[in-house]
Chain A
Amino acid sequence: MSPSQPATDDAADLPRHLLGLEGVSAGTINRVLEEAQGFRALLEKADKKTDALKGRTIINLFFEASTRTRTSFELAGKRLSADVINISASASSLQKGETWLDTVRTLEAMTPDALVIRHPDSGAPHLAARALDSHCAVINGGDGPHEHPTQALLDVLTIQHHKGPIDGLKVAIVGDAAHSRVARSQIHALHTLGAAEIRLVGPKTLMPAEAAPALGVQVFHNADAGLKGVDVIIMLRMQMERIRGAAVPSQREYFRLYGLDPARVERAADDVLVMHPGPMNRGVEIASEVADGPYSVILPQVTNGLAIRMAVLNLLARQRQSAGPA
């Protein structure tokens, strides 16, 4: 997960941080998925709490607005009986002139066991991880357009739950891949777990440069062609606030060309899975009939997100113990 600490296939040898999924081994990913399976079962019980992280502290440090990821991490931490603190950039001392890295160090001095960081710039969790001296784990909660590893892990868990092994599946990711940290993490995870084909579908203005060689994907500019025969369709949010200038002429034209409506779903395999990391723009990238339709697993994704974040926190927030007496 951290480039300086390459993951190994020995599942017991977990990396200290979860900074991204590029280069993370199948062994490590499977370890997280197995752990999450266990928590999924727990979430179906009346008493959803364990004391696995009792006495541990998790800080959610969000330098960018987020509702679902922050809530998911918060609830995951609480279900594990950790003390959870949420800090959003507007409430921090950033406005008093402190650098965000000083905020990280200040919080580190309060001896948390895990720091979940979301930041609008790529590489921020890496920089934070390098700045830390303690046992504290850094978990990337989404950094710029770089990675969003827990989102991709929950997507993989969802796909596995409905389709079995990822090995051999064809997956289409539709939309604003250029600005999507979700897409990058998904692509890394799906490749590592043996997906047969990953397609990126969208106009050239929303494609990352050299996408095919850089990410090992097939690029389609025609949605009907790109969706033909795929087992999974992942719709990306049109991140309107990220689009600079003139990437897409109008929402209307975008939906006509790339929006997922029932006719386009028909192009895919019979038992296709429709996914969306949320939050959705109904009528912009996905029709309500599809979002709420029989192939959609958009809400189960959210539930799985809780299980994944419990798994990640449970595996990474207990390193003080494994590193020796506190």
Chain B
Amino acid sequence: MRTVIQGGRVIDPANGVDSVADVYIAEGRIQAVGETPPDLRADETIDAAGCIVCPGLVDMHVHLREPGQEWKEDITSGSRAAAAGGVTSVACMANTRPVNDRRSVTEQIKATATSVGLARIHPIGAVTCDLAGEALTEMNELYSAGCVAFSDDGRPVPDAGVMRQALEYAATFGYLLILHEEEPTLSDGGAMNEGAHATRMGLGGIPNASEDVMIARDLILAELTGSRIHIAHVATAGGVDLIREAQARGLAVTGEAAPHHLFLTDANVGAFDSHAKMAPPLRSLADREAVRGAVADGTLTAIATDHAPHEADAKNEVFACCANGVTGLETLLGLTLKLVDESVLDLATALDRVTRGPAAVLGLDAGRLGVGDVADVCILDPNARWQVDPAGLHSRSVNTPFTGWELRGRVERTLLGGRAVFPFAQEPTGG
């Protein structure tokens, strides 16, 4: 299969490319960009005039819920959501049921993802067995089975001694730990950001210190152990400062920001809106601005959604008891471009943070369009506007706080290894 994508504006942040050019794909890989290869007989020509042609997006923080909670999402519905969102590489968190703390779970996820074939699914293994924060998983075996990093996301390792051992063991092999930073004793009883809004609503507050204390601890432990760490969904100004300062000291620490933390604040909780409940919580405007600044200056090199699907019942509870999290795969691109519209990022940097940035953190062969690279491509119409409507989304769950938002940038086509995975050949019956 040979494909040529004609006349699009090719933006490939990894290679510093931003120009109108044709992209030639053969055998699932990029054969040429711009220059016409000697043998140019294409089986398919895609007219991309007026469109942006960029690497398929990489979302390094996703909860696919399979195995165990398929009523929220499964690998099929999650892969469809990814493809529809222009996302071709997905790293999925370990808090499945059972937890991805053993080879069999990793292999099951990989096998299912391969048969679905709509996105590259990269499992993240657990740091500790059953996310219990006690015994380490067989990281080496999990890695050989296909795990690309390790995380107890959602259940941070509370015991500093265990975390030290986990970091040290991971550093033995050069594995990356992805850390959800939250000191449980400071978050206990909290449901939202500690501050004026929580006070008025009578909701328990979670202080920024809950996140900052844990980031500080883990940076110190990373320095002690010489390990690589990646801080998930950074939401506080203090956390940003700690990471920036550690990077200046030469620590191998990276970080990501979630779209909801880049656009929303604790005021969005309103009168107990459960779609504004997540961990870490929506913070203050000052925190939001600090996180935006960190994505802009490269302290945080990835925008990752923390896509956390939940059925309606899980959100239809009192705020303190309802499930944490929002979906994100299908709004990632539009919200990233909104950062451009709001002058937070230039277009190349914005696309970098959802392609090359996260791919580099995970060491994936993805997120770029150089000659010889895998042809994972997103073709989008940057001027098409669409309104977020849960009925039009492909994830099994529709717990998005962005319903009704008008976003710019519609995915016209998603290619995975040169093969079109979106638009879908046919809609599945029965929704």
Contact = CB atoms under 8 A, between A and B. Distances in A.
B283 to A, nearest CB: 13
Interface residues of B, number: 23
B272 interface: yes
Contacts of A101: 316-317
Given A121-B321, A143-B202, A214-B196, 6 more contacts: A101-B316, A121-B318, A121-B319, A145-B202, A184-B202, A213-B196
Interface in A89-123: 99, 101, 119, 121-123
Please tell me the size bucket of the interface on A: 20 to 34
Interface of B: 188-189, 194-203, 205, 207, 270-272, 316-321
A244 B186 CA distance: 11
Interface string A119-150: 10111101100010000000000011111000
A181 interface: yes
Contacts, number: 71
Given A119-B318, A121-B321, A215 B272 contact: no
A123 B196 contact: no
A196 interface: no
Contacts of A145: 202-203
Main secondary structure on B side of the interface with A: loop
A117 B197 CA distance: 23
B272 A127 contact: yes
B197 A214 contact: yes
B196 A122 contact: no
Interface of A: 3-4, 22, 99, 101, 119, 121-124, 126-127, 131, 143-147, 181, 184, 208-211, 213-215, 244
29 contacts: A4-B271, A22-B200, A121-B318, A121-B319, A121-B320, A122-B202, A122-B318, A122-B320, A123-B203, A123-B319, A126-B271, A127-B272, A127-B317, A144-B203, A145-B202, A146-B202, A181-B202, A209-B194, A209-B195, A209-B196, A209-B198, A210-B195, A210-B196, A210-B199, A211-B199, A214-B199, A214-B200, A244-B188, A244-B189
B196 to A, nearest CB: 3
A22 B317 CA distance: 22
Nearest to A22: B200
Nearest to A128: B318
Contacts of A209: 194-196, 198-199, 205, 207
A184 B194 contact: no
List the 3 shortest-distance A-B pairs measured between CB atoms, nearest first.
Answer: A146-B202, A123-B272, A214-B196
A295 B272 CA distance: 39
A144 B195 CA distance: 17
B320 A144 contact: yes
A124 B318 contact: yes
